[in-house]
A and B are shown apart, each in its own frame.
Chain A
């Protein structure tokens, strides 16, 4: 059973872009205002990881759902689609 997120992401194909399509607009907001680090909870692929003082954005594993853009209570995530052909490549459903 693929119960850990690493195991799940191993099943999904990605064509990583060189540049991130996700940008934390103001890292200070994550540090000082956002005590909950909400995006680290609800992101379906754990793209966001809090590293003590800074939000790490692992855009390579992003499935482009858009939840972080809508779910960040501070509107602090700049979100665009990856360049054409890049990002997640679903093979099945």
Chain B
């Protein structure tokens, strides 16, 4: 490989591949570096891929890409010890144009990276970037663990994922705190196509996503999920590293508990584990966003904490940030000025757009749940109990039942305490 490029992208995930694709499409000389044997070999997600914004980069990509099932129905379940409270939303209009797909990342990322290569990007696998080369407070290239050693570029786009080691090296953040990341573990379980379709009440080209709270995470701040793929299910659970550590729980024990829950067990019965995976999800939100731009460098995707944990959106932000980074880097290259003065446009566009807006909107949500465990540990089990009271017919008048429900929900917190809890959660969410 020649030793100087217009742009180097570190990491072939959704953010990095998008940046490389968009730069190559504009005729830029771009090198995409991936440490795994192939793109996707290190990448993990639940995984739901929204069609926006990728459909604006590759129109109708779903006609060609290796995807699993279009998600036509979103279910939410609050698990109790052995029962659940559920909510489902189904909309046939989500099939055309599709809103989201379940995906298996090892397949999808390989395909997506191949599209960037077809545009002219150079993809180098099996290469770890060990550090950024910095000269006069300017990032000028990367050092890799190959004999060639140093590779230079006008701009380096960091898309190196949740651990974000390179942004840390240049002081853009110190290190994530245990409450700023969630540790997610998951399994892919194979199950015959017909069984999936009858069990989840879906057609051959339809899929369901299920998010689970409550007992699903043992009341720890986080979420569990079960998604339908073509001939498999993806099941996982993610909780903040701080709360997992405090609970002294092994993450895979949390996953096993989930799989053994009667509601879940019936959905996965007869399936066969095919792969076990673990990954960090950056869930610090708005206040954890690191410095995004420096001379000759920008930070994208998970490396920049671009995840909306409440709505489990991440890959869409990764793709959008990669697209915005490519646009700004292209402008900077045309101007012949890749200093922070021009690259700062990237930060402005990210923060003024949907990424900045949504992260700001939910800035207080995760910290509130993290600092006030009673939201998940107190109310969720009691909500189940309150509904049991309401729906059980036993000769007790409904008025009396309502009184009991209020007593149950406000017990220990008091009516004013409960009212304040509702107000604070509402403010953090709405």
Contacts and interface: CB of A to CB of B under 8 A. Distances in A.
Nearest to B182: A67
Interface residues of chain B: helix, strand, loop or mixed (majority): mixed
A58 interface: no
A45 B186 contact: no
Nearest to B43: A90
Given A64-B42, A82-B128, A84-B126, A45 B273 contact: no
A83 B128 CA distance: 6
Given A63-B277, A84-B146, A90 B165 contact: no
Of the candidates A41, A44, A45, A46, the one having the most CB atoms from chain B within 10 angstroms of its own CB is A44
A45 B178 contact: no
The 3 closest A-B pairs by CB, nearest first: A85-B126, A44-B278, A8-B276
B278 A63 contact: yes
Interface of A: 1-3, 5, 7-9, 11-12, 15, 36, 38, 41-42, 44-46, 63-67, 69-71, 80-85, 87-93
Contacts of A90: 40-44, 105-106, 275, 277
26 contacts: A2-B273, A5-B250, A11-B187, A12-B275, A12-B276, A44-B251, A64-B42, A66-B181, A67-B183, A67-B280, A70-B241, A70-B280, A71-B178, A83-B128, A84-B35, A84-B125, A87-B36, A89-B37, A90-B40, A90-B41, A90-B42, A90-B43, A90-B105, A91-B41, A92-B107, A93-B104
A93 B245 contact: no
Contacts of B256: 3
Interface string B180-211: 01010111100000000000000000000000
B402 interface: no
Contacts of B244: 42
Contacts of A8: 187, 252, 273, 276
Nearest to B273: A2
Interface in B127-150: 127-128, 130, 144-146
Contacts of B37: 15, 85, 89
A26 to B, nearest CB: 18
B249 interface: yes
A90 B43 CA distance: 7
A8 B279 CA distance: 15
Given A41-B249, A89-B37, A80 B186 contact: no
Given A1-B259, A71-B241, A85-B36, A80 B130 contact: yes
Q: Indicate the member of A36, A69, A70 with the most B CB atoms within 10 Å.
A: A70
B163 interface: yes
Contacts of B278: 44-45, 63, 65, 67
Nearest to A83: B145
Contact of A42 (B42, B175, B234, B251): B251
A92 B251 contact: no
Contacts of B41: 88-91
Nearest to B40: A90
A19 to B, nearest CB: 11
Contacts of A80: 130, 165
B400 interface: no
Contacts of B277: 12, 63, 90, 92-93
Nearest to A10: B276
A93 B162 contact: no
A65 B238 CA distance: 12
A42 B250 contact: yes
A11 B144 CA distance: 30
A84 B127 contact: yes
Interface in B13-43: 35-37, 40-43
A71 B245 contact: yes
Nearest to A38: B245
